Amino acid sequence: MSDRKRAALFVSIVATCLLLIGGIGVASAVTVTGVTGSISCGSVWSRNDSQARRDGDTHDLTNIRLGVPLSALSDSSLANAQACADGISGRRSWSLTLVGLGLVGLLGAAIFRRPPQDGSADERAAPA
């Protein structure tokens, strides 16, 4: 195996790993710690902050029932929704970057693996 093909194989293995790790990051659920505890926010492709808003509203209603003055309440549902948005944004930044690098690496390895078109460095043996 030539050095050119060996390098292309190495790049394609690394690119496949990057693509796989990024794909897992895109597909897996994002969970953050908000004002009311651990919150499930959906994934990179399908954001779902309904649990964050529901838990925040429940937290605010509980505080109102306990006699906490309205002026002292923070808007927990908005704080939880912001925590979800931050978590998804962070996940999106690294996972989509890895997917992009993996795709570029695989494309580059596929192009680099092809033999030159001019025939000067052709590795194929001439028919005898």
pLDDT of 20-39, one tens digit each? 999 999 999 888 887 667 88
CB 72 within 8 A of CB 64: no
Instruction: Give the residue from 22, 38, 33 showing the smallest Cα distance to 92.
Output: 22
Nearest to 88 by CA among 51, 49, 36: 49
The pLDDT tens digits for 35-93 are 667 888 888 887 676 655 555 455 444 544 545 454 444 555 567 777 888 888 999 99
Q: Is the pLDDT of residue 12 over 90?
A: yes
> How far, in Å, CA of 17 to CA of 38, rounded?
30
Encode pLDDT of 90-114 as tens digits: 999 999 999 999 999 999 998 887 7
